Structure 1
């Protein structure tokens, strides 16, 4: 999810939303039950429907490309209690076309109904 958020924050359209609503929307797309996400974030899925619609294509692309063997890098000089501070970065251009295609697929299908 860090990679998803990292990607989203590099998109110019993300400025329409606050960081916290983007993060909450990513949780709504990736976790069940919705009630648990609502309790954790303080938002309802209805409140974030527009943000969820925005982040869903990115979540779909990253889910499709996910490598379950990938782990955070290990750094011997970092205390185990601080490993949550390791930042993960992606190359925006590696995903940009895939996200565009997924948005067209999802939003095009929504327009047809």
Structure 2
């Protein structure tokens, strides 16, 4: 029995669509912070990976399954799909445009 409503290729396609939805990023650099040129890129990639993880769970045929079964199926599919994403992430990093904005003041604190 296939427990997934979507194929592995469908999950990869979903991730690529999410990833490429933002091809222009803005990174704000405050004077009190160390500049890491990939911060915004990394943040976007992690956000897309989280969306994919949630999407995998949403697309498990869960009828009659326990939470442990669903978790096991999620883990199994994640281990299959996530290694396939590396080539798309590398290409995205090469193609994405990041605008850097330097701010001559510390990052504002939130209360």
What TM-score results when the alignment is normalised by the length of structure 1? 0.30
Q: Which has the larger radius of gyration?
A: 2
If asked which structure has higher relative contact order (CA below 8 Å, sep 6+), I would say: 2
More helix per residue: 1 or 2? 1
What TM-score results when the alignment is normalised by the length of structure 2? 0.31
